[in-house]
């Protein structure tokens, strides 16, 4: 049923209607193409494992994670060659995620097919980020 699959936007990012909860995030993950699907599923699983009470949503065709509805600490988005994780208060994390942003508080982590994710560092950043005030979007 190819017609039932979400349309892929630039970089292979799925176009998913805005919504809240596990089901909409799982729909996003199921629509991610290629190697990025497994990587995105691992990212989502790590967030859920580290923060069992995390709140999930899809907004602007990207999964969002927070500790309260509409107060977010993390999102990710599929780009052409990598997955871009956005820590909305990443400048407060120690050490800071490696990639800067035009927004001073935001820091990025890029996940590449050829470079394994440092799951220990990611788990630490998740714990730190979950304790910071969320960003309203």
**Arithmetic mean of pLDDT, 41-54:** 97
How many C-beta neighbours within 10 Å does residue 126 have?
22
Q: What's the structural domain count of the chain?
A: 1
If phi over 0 gives left and psi between -120 and 50 gives alpha, with beta otherwise, what is residue 59? Answer: beta
Give residue-wise pLDDT tens across range 3-47: 567 888 888 889 999 999 999 999 999 999 999 999 999 999 999
Indicate whether 80 belongs to any domain: yes
Angle between helices 34-50 and 22-31 (to 10 degrees): 150
Cα–Cα dist 101/112, whole Å: 18
**What does DSSP say about strands 71-78 and 62-68: parallel, antiparallel, or unpaired?**
antiparallel
Identify whether 66 is part of a domain: yes
Q: What is the mean pLDDT of the chain?
A: 94
**Does 137 map to a domain?**
no
């Amino acid at each position: 049923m190819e017609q039932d699959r979400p349309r892929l936007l630039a970089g292979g990012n799925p176009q998913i209607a805005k919504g809240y909860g596990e089901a909409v995030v799982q729909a996003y993950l199921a629509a991610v193409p290629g190697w990025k699907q497994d990587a995105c599923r691992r990212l989502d699983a790590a967030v859920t494992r580290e923060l069992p009470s995390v709140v999930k949503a899809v907004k602007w065709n990207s999964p969002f994670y927070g500790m309260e509805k509409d107060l977010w600490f993390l999102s990710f988005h599929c780009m052409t060659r990598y997955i871009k994780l956005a820590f909305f208060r990443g400048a407060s994390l120690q050490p800071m995620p490696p990639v800067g942003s035009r927004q001073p508080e935001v820091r990025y982590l890029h996940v590449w097919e050829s470079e394994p994710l440092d799951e220990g560092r990611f788990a630490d950043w998740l714990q730190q980020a979950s304790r910071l005030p969320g960003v309203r979007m």
